[in-house]
Amino acid sequence: MLISIFFFFSNCSFKLVDDHHGVYFLEKKKEKIQLNSTNRNDLLSILGEPSTKSSFDNDVWIYIERKITNTHFFGKKELIVNNVLVVEIDNRGLLSKMDFYNLNDMKEIRFDKKNTEANYSKRNFVYSFLSSMRQKINDPLGVRKKRREEGN
């Protein structure tokens, strides 16, 4: 009995496990880029390939950093970092616009409740992307979605 208890505790880890996706240290890296002087190649060397690309009038690149950690021994997970950097590159290949959103910014974004017609533009692409990120913030493990599907 004592030997089995020893093996149980020797295989357990009391370290918190971090699950990190996307660009590490996105907030620090964004400080290295500047409007109207940083070009596509600079972005790729500083930030790497974007998580998502879209092209309309200008190219829109979206970089994501998410970090989830176990909050205690029983495996409850908590979202601790959720950064999104949206950059727009003009037709000359230079950075023309940059928006950074962190976890607190995502919670404060107000979405219009009115129905709109399908209009494919940069704003709608960013809006739908941020809406999906908001859903992941509110339910990072997809538990609510599974409950809804089981209830139907």
Structural domain range at position 69: 15-146
Buried b (16+ CB within 10 A) or exposed e, 91-122: eeebbbeeeebebeebeeeeeeeeeeeeeeeb
d(CA 134, CA 137): 5
The verdict on residue 125 lying in a domain is: yes
Other Cβ atoms less than 10 A from the Cβ of 38: the count is 21
pTM: 0.60
The verdict on residue 73 lying in a domain is: yes
Question: Per residue of the chain (152 residues), what is the pLDDT tens digit?
Answer: 656 555 555 555 555 566 778 889 999 999 999 999 999 999 999 999 998 888 766 689 999 998 888 766 666 777 788 899 999 999 899 999 999 988 877 666 666 677 656 655 555 677 777 877 777 777 766 666 656 666 55
Q: How many domains does the chain have?
A: 1
The verdict on residue 10 lying in a domain is: no
The verdict on residue 53 lying in a domain is: yes
The verdict on residue 6 lying in a domain is: no
The verdict on residue 131 lying in a domain is: yes
The verdict on residue 8 lying in a domain is: no
The verdict on residue 129 lying in a domain is: yes
